[in-house]
Chains A and B, each alone.
Chain A
Amino acid sequence: MAAKKPAQRKAPAKKTPAKAPAAKAGAPKEELLRFYRDMLLIRRFEEKAGQLYGMGLIAGFCHLYIGQEAVVVGVQAALEDGDQVITGYRDHGHMLACGMTANGVMAELTGRIGGYSRGKGGSMHMFSREKQFFGGHGIVGAQVPIGTGLAFADLYKNNGKVCATYFGDGAANQGQVYESFNMAKLWKLPVIYIIENNQYAMGTSVRRASSETHLHKRGASFGIPGEEVDGMDVLAVRDSAERARKHALSEGPIILEMKTYRYRGHSMSDPAKYRTREEVDEIRARQDPIEMVRKRLFDAKYASEDDLKKIDREIKEIVNESAEFAKESPEPDPAELYTDVLVEERA
């Protein structure tokens, strides 16, 4: 309750936190290059979405993932085909990481028929059964019991799959999260809870909203282990997710608290008075997840400046094409208004 000066959090600790073993010294060239590419795709995609929003082509809420790219890309590397993913409304990066197309996501942002929800869902509500991406949820915390239920179905079917359930530091205070934890542990459900601790829930810093700020400890009273992970380091993320996946299959739920940071405002209109410009700049300059991989690629002599420029150009092309597609794709037919309310044969 005590209101103090607007939060001025220190940058997250630079060193890899003690609990998680340091990232494996390296990664094979191909994998590092793929990480670079996947993270860059998310960043450029989000920048483009920001532009289209500014042009009035995207409306409503639009929560960008810029700064947090290493989290989904690292986790996805540890998942296997058929594993499920579910998250909240800051979901564009997750969808791209799951292999959903930039075109389909961007066209949903513009509310067109070519979008994943045929224009009916928008930024916060997108899904792909094919890619096992279960949304896309606008209500903070609601995805946590649903993700737990996906894991319940996995165990029920004994299919050897796990559900990666993402939520924010703010969502971590919702009661339903703890109801889920209890059931997940009780029934040993194969679920990985990934808390994307980007330090803020809208304008509220973790310190101002949470009595226990080490969110990975939040499972303690349920006997669910937790790990704090440097969420800016894609290799540390991947390693932790690999351990977590094994754990989820043999022991049940586990919590990964990804220490990360969002560079942009909460949504598109955010006065951002709750943190300083310097704080943001400092993290961008010292811990940027993409720069980190770039440096690793250079250091290991896996890639030259030119190699990466080539990737940059490819990405730019994909993103530009998605923007074109999203502009050209027509609005849904008025008859779409009445479809999909209940399961019925499509005419």
Chain B
Amino acid sequence: MPVEVLMPALSPTMEEGTLAKWLVKEGDAVKSGDVIAEIETDKATMEVEAVEEGVVGKLLVAAGTEGVKVNSPIALLLEEGEDAGALDGAAQKATPPQPSPEGEGEDADARKPATAETSPPPPAGEGRGGGRPASKPASDPEIPAGTDMVPTTVRDALRDAMAEEMRRDETVFVMGEEVAEYQGAYKVTRNLLQEFGPRRVVDTPITEHGFAGLGVGAAFGGLKPVVEFMTFNFAMQAIDHLINSAAKTLYMSGGQMGCPIVFRGPNGAASRVGAQHSQDYSAWYAQVPGLKVIAPWDAADAKGLLKAAIRDPNPVIFLEHELIYGETFDVPAVDDWVLPIGKAKVRREGSDVTITAHSRMVGFALKAAEILAEEGIEAEVIDLRTLRPLDTETIIESVKKTNRIVCAEEGWGRCGIGAEIAAVVTAEAFDYLDAPPARVHQEDVPLPYAANLEALSLPGVDDIVKAAKAVCYRE
């Protein structure tokens, strides 16, 4: 079969061009690399090289033709041993394009991407083939009756989760600033160095961009890094690797390069540390496909979800909160406490208004619910726990019952988690709503240092109470 020489593209956006000049004629022998023609667009001129050896059998497009479509055949090359007779069949198959007079009357379909019918069926397997993964997250494991509940701080629960996973899996290691000898800037990695040694508990220089990227490489290389950011404010130095390297590579590699890594550390406002140290990044990361984002509140969730995050084959952003590290909650004393990622938890049932919250705001939402109850408003409090994927089903179910929703978060409101939830609820439960969704969030300013201004800026229990009453049309 003669080889077709196709009209090349000069740029990714080029669709057609002019065949300016032939530099060979029929019967000429050419070898790979010989310039055979010149083509041009309004932007550039380029030489077309032969990519095979052979004899020019036929020039299909005349010199000077405009509007030659990219990828259409412009010449036929006879391979060694072929004679001109071979051209007959081929010439018919490859109908030379008719140059359009204005160079514009194009066949719209030619440029359309393959449609659903024409593209090959997606490979079987979860989460493939477009749309959202069909599988629903599992529910929390049952806690067998009689299980001991052990009061544990969030700090220790996180530590226990890492220690258990490190015992279970040799490839899990912890890395970050001051995680080893100092025992963690916030003591979350206490005693890990003592148990696992410096090979697996690694102190880094202050080099966030470097060690985040190194963590991604280690994950590609078969390890399961748990990378601690002293706080997520400093992950800004590294955010390129979190997003461009960790989140996108699986997709860009057609599913080959999974990146099982956890980036964890305190997120959000601490106390009086000013704007550069007090940002809530929940919405930032929750926006990125290719990441999972977890933001637990109590110790049992912190433990069960961190264990799940470490086992997850995907990059997980695990947002903790400095101001709840020291709070104590019950953690069930079961052998392997692992919770499902992507499942919200109804913390309190109620019929009058739904309140969504995550991380530290869950505590505030529960307090608000108590205050509201005294005034006869029964609030249902949903702890989101995972921000990506977001458990919209639990939220929608709740709204169908309460017909009202308040979305609370610590961070800024613009394009926030609450904005997303409000949009989802409006789209999927519009007919059930008796009031527009309300949002509670930080004031739209960088967090100030002054005590009074800081308090004014951050959302609290009262703000939630007020918003809940407003959607209930009370006061």
Contact = CB atoms under 8 A, between A and B. Distances in A.
Interface in A1-52: 1-3, 6
A209 interface: yes
A6 B452 CA distance: 41
A273 B236 CA distance: 29
A336 interface: yes
Nearest to A170: B206
Given A174-B237, A208-B203, A337-B453, A202 B185 contact: yes
Contacts of A112: 450
Interface string A256-283: 0000000000000000011000000000
B289 interface: no
A60 B269 CA distance: 11
B281 interface: no
B178 interface: yes
A107 to B, nearest CB: 10
A124 B276 contact: yes
B181 A6 contact: yes
Pick the most buried of A117, A138, A274, A341: most chain B CB atoms within 10 A of its CB: A138
Contacts of B234: 139-140
B237 A139 contact: yes
For the complex, would chain A's binding face be called helix, strand, loop or mixed by DSSP majority?
A: loop
A3 B449 contact: no
Contacts of B273: 60-61, 122, 124, 138
Given A6-B181, A171-B206, A124 B274 contact: yes
A341 B178 contact: no
B203 A125 contact: no
B277 A138 contact: yes
Nearest to B175: A1
Contacts of A124: 273-274, 276-277
Interface in B445-475: 445-446, 448-453, 456-457
B198 interface: yes
B205 A122 contact: no
B276 A202 contact: no
A203 B182 contact: yes
A138 B185 contact: no
A173 B208 CA distance: 10
Contact of A332 (B208, B277, B452): B452
Interface in A60-89: 60-61
Interface in B202-225: 202-210
B271 interface: yes
Given A120-B450, A125-B449, A331-B451, A202 B177 contact: yes
Contacts of B203: 1, 3, 204, 208-209
B206 to A, nearest CB: 5
B180 interface: yes
B236 to A, nearest CB: 7
B189 interface: no
A139 B208 CA distance: 11
Contacts of A104: none
Given A119-B450, A139-B237, A332-B450, A1 B199 contact: yes
Contacts of B444: 341
A170 B205 contact: yes
A3 B272 contact: no
A273 B277 CA distance: 25
Given A2-B198, A210-B205, A334-B453, A202 B448 contact: no
Nearest to B208: A174
B275 interface: yes
**Of listed B177, B202, B271, B457, residue having the most chain A CB within 10 A:** B177
B3 interface: no
Given A140-B206, A209-B206, A331-B452, A60 B181 contact: no
Contacts of A238: none
A201 B414 CA distance: 36
Given A170-B206, A274-B181, A334-B456, A61 B277 contact: yes
A149 interface: no
A124 to B, nearest CB: 6
Contact of A338 (B182, B193, B277, B445): B445
A121 interface: yes
A332 to B, nearest CB: 5
B236 A139 contact: yes
B50 interface: no
9 contacts: A3-B193, A59-B451, A120-B275, A124-B277, A139-B234, A139-B237, A140-B234, A334-B453, A336-B453
Q: Give 6 closest A-B pairs by Cβ, nearest first.
A: A122-B449, A3-B198, A119-B450, A60-B272, A59-B272, A138-B276
Given A331-B451, A331-B452, 19 more contacts: A3-B193, A60-B271, A111-B449, A120-B448, A122-B449, A123-B274, A124-B276, A125-B276, A139-B236, A140-B234, A170-B206, A173-B206, A174-B209, A175-B207, A201-B206, A202-B185, A203-B182, A209-B206, A337-B445
